[in-house]
Amino acid sequence: MSILITLGVVFGLLLLAEQLRRKQIIHGEIARKFVHITVGAFIATWPYYLSMLSIQFICLLMLVGVVASRFLSIFQAIHGVRRKTWGDMLFPLGIGLAAMLASEPWIFSAAVLHLSLADGAAALVGERYKKAGKYVIAGQKKTIVGTTVFWAISFMILLVLILTHQSQLSLVAVPLLLGLTSVVTFAENVTPSSADNIVVPFLVTAALNSLLFAG
């Protein structure tokens, strides 16, 4: 029942995004990132009422749904962008990878919030101010403001983790967690387009697992 309700909420968010797109309230990259952020924020709560195995199963269903939607042109809110991208397919794969690797629910949540909130907000702000502070790194077009937003949100996510899981993390983990913000931001910058949906949750999950075991 929990899985069905969860899938229903995801489907509802997709329908909402599609309706907003059709009414021209949101469009293009904004519509796509609306789904990215809202669905991702919801997914971050999953391990608190679903098993990791259930999450992996849902991610598999999501991947099948995304593939079907892409080829049947069902949800244009997640496909209707001019540039070629595989991010819609790699998104559920990245979440599934985090579910496989995360040793604690909060580690999974941190990885997903980086993937959805930090990456999504950075893309939206970068698109809004794309003419200011543009730069190219490893063949990727980025903006200073977008990168700053990603770093700042990553910092806030990890800071909350430090404050709420002090009993599980040793003191040495504090500076390492903050340093992880810069590492993840750099990785997001240099990773080929869309592949950051895999690289970012992997790095966050692997690093937090290591710090937890070390502490």
Q: Give the separation between CA 213 and CA 77, rounded to whole angstroms.
A: 40
Q: Which tops the pLDDT comparison, 25 or 105?
A: 105
Tokens 């309706």 found at: 19
pLDDT of residue 81: 47
Number of folded domains that form the chain: 1
pLDDT of residue 53: 94
What is the domain range of residue 23?
2-214
Reference 59, options 86, 99, 87; nearest CA is: 99
Mean predicted confidence (pLDDT) in 38-67: 90
Asked if residue 79 has pLDDT above 60, the reply is: no
Which of the four pLDDT bands, split at 50, 70 and 90, describes residue 96?
very high
Length of the chain: 215
Query: Quick one: tokens of 99?
Result: 């579910």
Percent of the chain with pLDDT over 90: 31
Top-ranked range on mean pLDDT: pick from 45-49, 70-74, 166-170, 176-180: 45-49
Q: Give the separation between CA 188 and CA 119, rounded to whole angstroms.
A: 8
The rounded mean pLDDT for the chain is 81
pTM (2 d.p.): 0.87
Q: Give the separation between CA 127 and CA 73, rounded to whole angstroms.
A: 24
